Amino acid sequence: MRTYFESYAVLGALLLVGGGIVAGGLAANRLLRPNRPTAEKLTTYECGVDPVGENWAHSYVRYYVFSYLYVVFAVDAVFLFPWATVFSAPGYGMTTLGEMFVFLGFLAAGLLYAGKKGVLSWV
């Protein structure tokens, strides 16, 4: 029979082997890649915009809010699919239905808040 700490030894060994594989891949990449830095390659480059003027780039927070709202509603879909399977199970119908209406209420409140703040208008 195994002792309690032997199972942790197996886990530790697997973590070391996994870390070794990752470190080996990164080391092989560093050794095998070509390294020819030029002044043009070392300049800052972002999204096709040449780095001219100030160091600070102007970015709109609106794009981050759109992505945040997308993530919120994508997570909504993650919760809806398991709910549909549990809803059909006997004995869980009304409980899961009530919980889902509370969940959808929170999402609707968030969507109404975002609409009221003007976040959903594109320009």
Q: Which helix (H) or strand (E) holds 65?
A: helix 61-87
Confidence class for position 83, pLDDT limits 50, 70, 90: confident
pLDDT in tens, 12-64: 999 999 999 999 999 999 999 998 888 877 777 666 666 666 666 666 777 77
Q: State residue 105 phi and psi, 5-degree precision.
A: -65, -45
CA distances from 42 to 36, 45, 51, 98 (A): 10, 9, 12, 57
Q: pLDDT value at position 31?
A: 95
pLDDT in tens, 91-110: 777 777 788 888 889 888 88
The residues, any chain, with a CB within 8 Å of residue 72's CB and separated by 6 or more, are 107, 110
Compute the radius of gyration of the chain from its Cα atoms.
Answer: 26
Confidence class for position 67, pLDDT limits 50, 70, 90: confident
One-letter amino acid of 20: G
DSSP 39: T
Distance CA 123, CA 118 (A): 10
Return the bridge partners of 46, or none. 49
